[in-house]
Amino acid sequence: AGGLRTLLVALLASLLTIAVYWPATHGGYVWDDGGLVVKPRDTLDEWRDVPAAFGRAAIAGEGVAYYRPIMVASFVVDAQLFGLAPQSFHRTNVLLHGANVGLLVLTLAAFGCGFWTAAIAGLAFGLHPLQPQAVALILGRNDVLLIPPILAMLVLDERVRRSRPRLADVLVAACFALT
């Protein structure tokens, strides 16, 4: 019963966070979005651009290379499934952030936090006033994509290290590579 209750509160925290940020899904392209999505259309127009994202910078120019292959690969998926309308990119960010809130609640519960502590901490993370930039800007995708591998590193290090420390090292390093 406790596990089901925690799962339900994680789902409710996710849904509340999604509802609060849903207006961001109506936004257009701003700031660096042009350099990430609008201008490099030839890097988002085919499924084979997903693996190609691991061989190039997201933004390059004037001596700066911004290498974020997971983010670019997720942009390719958005573009292939929903087209280049900015609303689809914003929607994905909002849904990812909502999922992150649920994952955080479940992670905190797995580490022994009480039901209410995990719920409040998840909501505080999801609705904190510092989050809108990460959620509402398309470039913020990088931030919302960092949470799952970081939470996985924590759980793997805690749970796997006890019985298989070398495996834990490999799995934590793999999660780190995803950041």
Angle (CA) 113-117-119 rounded to 5° is 110
Taking 80 as the threshold, does the pLDDT of residue 50 lie above it?
A: yes
Over residues 69-115, the pLDDT tens digits come to 888 899 999 989 998 899 999 999 999 999 999 999 999 998 888 88
Mean pLDDT value across residues 19-40: 84
**Three-state secondary structure call for residue 66:** strand
Q: Is the pTM of this model over 0.85?
A: yes
In whole angstroms, what is the distance from residue 21 CA to residue 31 CA? 19
Taking 70 as the threshold, does the pLDDT of residue 133 lie above it?
A: yes
| Whether the Cβ atoms of residue 109 and residue 6 lie closer than 8 Å to each other | yes
Phi, psi of 66 (to 5 degrees): -105, 100
- In sequence order, the 6+-apart residues with CB closer than 8 A to the CB of 138 are 29, 30, 32, 33, 36, 37, 86, 89, 90, 93
**pLDDT value at position 64?**
62
Share of the chain above pLDDT 70, in %: 94
